[in-house]
Amino acid sequence: MIMNQSEVTIITANPAICHGQPLFRGTRVMVWQVLELLENGTSPAEIYQAYPTLPKDAIEAALHYAAQKVKNLNYVATTNSVPA
């Protein structure tokens, strides 16, 4: 899914806030916190209940942000040998 500009700009980073970690604008909730909660099986409803200041599109924006970061990494192809 391609997000529009307003969805993308809800994530910001400022060196003076939370050590420059990407977070949701107007909050001190960091993107990695939401991603980690999702990874651990927390439902979106539970996340929004725990963090009521999160923008309504925060989870979608966090997933998009993570996908873009992974997509833009430079990977070095390696060959894994499989034992016979």
Q: Where are the domains of the chain?
A: 5-71
- Partner residues linked to 23 by β-bridges: 12, 30
- The CATH number that domain 5-71 falls under is 1.10.10.10
**Whole-prediction pTM:** 0.74
Task: List Cβ neighbours of 58 (8 Å cut-off, separation of 6 or more).
Answer: 10, 24, 29, 34, 47, 48, 51
Quickly state the pLDDT bin for 81 (edges 50, 70, 90). low
pLDDT tens digit string along 27-66? 999 999 999 999 999 999 999 999 999 999 999 999 999 9
Please, what is the average pLDDT of the chain? 85
pLDDT(1) > 50: no
**Comparison of pLDDT for 77 and 9, the residue scoring more:** 9
